[in-house]
Amino acid sequence: MVLKVAKRGAVPPFIVMDVLREANARAAAGEEVLHLEVGQPGTPAPGPVLAAAHRALEQDLIGYSDAMGRAELRHAIAGHYRHAYGVELDPARVMVTTGSSGGFLVAFLAAFDVGDRVALAAPGYPAYRNILTALGIEPVVLETGPEDNFQPTVAHLEAVEERLDGLILASPSNPAGTMVGREQLAELMAYCKARGLRFISDEIYHGITYEAPAASALAFGEEAVVINSFSKYFSMTGWRLGWMVLPEDLLRPAECIGQNLFVSAPSLSQAAAVAAFDCYDELDGLVAAYGANRALLLEALPKAGFGRLAPADGAFYLYADVSALTNDSAAFCKRMLAETGVAVTPGLDFDSDRGHRYLRFSFAGRKDDMAEAARRLQAWLG
């Protein structure tokens, strides 16, 4: 008898992971591959985090925490809001999660029912729509482009004719790296509040900004669901740790969902992550290095033929319109990897309708690799 494979689990692949597999296979076969595909810092966690992890391994039980997270870490996260935004936050509103990815799952389950409709920008981080779809929640795509800085506006929301139940905003965004200003953030939040939409603010790239610091939704009201992570600014991707700041009405539902889905976020990571908030100088040094990579690529990529780039005010990505070079960015990226050893991500990951005209460069790696990638691409495209 043939057993059923559920349709709800048939989410599209996260193409960048497929590119990474191919890039790693080439590297294993001895090719010198330059990784501009994957969005992760090329550095380990800060030294004090590693030291705290070693101490915890020797002295700590590393058992479960409660589903909201270790008290000491929730307290340190609340302190981070004072440091980074001048906002006072009650640690009781913080839930520690298994990366921001675990946070999305808990937040969407707590806030939305099957059949609800949640707006999000395209291009955008693909897991939002794939998690929503797997949960039976309908993603409503707001098409954004250079004219609106690749960010949703109130006009986009007003143009949606059917009911909406929520909005997901990422500023700085992945893949464009663009940001909304304080005014636009306040406007979007006010629109959502007035119409009963849940406002979900993905703040995972906060701290990695080049022009102006990012504003947190938390500064504009207590109704937003704020999601953040240790993966990017804190350089701790594989530690699988993130957090949410929740409005009062979602706290207990999220706690119950967390108890059942995860029991607790990884305890070793929680013990270590407390030390991350003593490392701002070291972490800001990493941001300065991303800034140098960004400047290098902003100068070199146009010379190599990639002239139409989103502004990248934050995060570590350059989203390039390559319609003058190809109409099939997936095939283009495959050929680029095969012929130059430079791995980048096709835009299809972020925008299923228009992504065939775009690709994303990640500049989270080493500066030498950025310079070498630009050199190879310039030689490749002549």
Binding residues (CB under 6 A) for ligand PLP: these are 39, 99-101, 125, 170, 174, 202, 204, 229, 231, 237, 242
Find the shortest distance in angstroms from Cβ 303 to ligand PLP: 28
65 near 233, Cβ under 8 Å?
Answer: no
Q: Which residues contact 224 (CB under 8 A, 6 or more apart)?
A: 189, 199, 200, 201, 217, 218, 245, 247
Spell out the residues 6+ positions from residue 351 whose beta carbon is closer than 8 angstroms to its own. 122, 123, 124, 358
Least distance in Å: CB of 241 to ligand PLP? 8
We find the least distance from the C-beta atom of residue 380 to ligand PLP, in angstroms, to be 27
Which residue's entry shows tokens 């630009």? 374
Query: Which CB sits closer to ligand PLP, 39 or 355?
Result: 39
210 touches 222 (CB < 8 A): no
Least separation in angstroms between CB 101 and ligand PLP: 3
Nearer Cβ to ligand PLP (100/216) = 100
- Tokens representing 238 are 């594989």
Check the CA dihedral 252-90-108-68 and report its sign: negative
Q: Which residue is nearest to ligand PLP (CB)?
A: 99
Least gap, CB of 2 to ligand PLP (angstroms): 34
Give min distance, CB of 235 to ligand PLP, in A: 11
If the CB atoms of residues 287 and 371 are measured against ligand PLP, the closer one turns out to be: 287
226's tokens: 């704020």
d(CA 51, CA 57): 10
Phi and psi at 320, nearest 5°, equal -110, 130
CA 355, distance to chain mean position in Å, is: 18
Which residue in 81, 324, 117, 109 sits closest to 203, CA to CA?
81
Separation of alpha carbons 360 and 380, rounded Å:
18
Q: Are 152 and 122 in contact (CB under 8 A)?
A: no
Q: Which residue bears the tokens 């936050």?
A: 89
- Which CB atom, from 344 or from 377, has the smaller least distance to ligand PLP? 344
Kindly tell me which of 81 and 239 has the beta carbon lying closer to ligand PLP.
239
What angle (nearest 5°) sits at the alpha carbon of residue 217, between those of residues 216 and 221? 130
How many angstroms from the chain centroid is the CA of residue 264?
A: 22
- Paired tokens of 223: 């109704």
The least CB distance from residue 161 to ligand PLP, in Å, is 28
β-strands 198-202, 225-229 pairing: parallel
Q: Closest separation between CB of residue 196 and ligand PLP, Å? A: 25
Q: Residue 41 or 91: which CB sits closer to ligand PLP? A: 41
Q: How far is the CB of 38 from ligand PLP (least distance, A)?
A: 9
What does the alpha-carbon distance between residue 50 and residue 221 come to, in Å, rounded to a whole number?
A: 35
Nearer to ligand PLP, 37 or 369 (CB): 37
Strands 225-229, 242-245: pairing kind = antiparallel
Please identify, using beta-carbon distances, which residue of 220 and 230 lies nearer to ligand PLP. Answer: 230
In terms of CB distance, is 91 or 172 closer to ligand PLP? 172
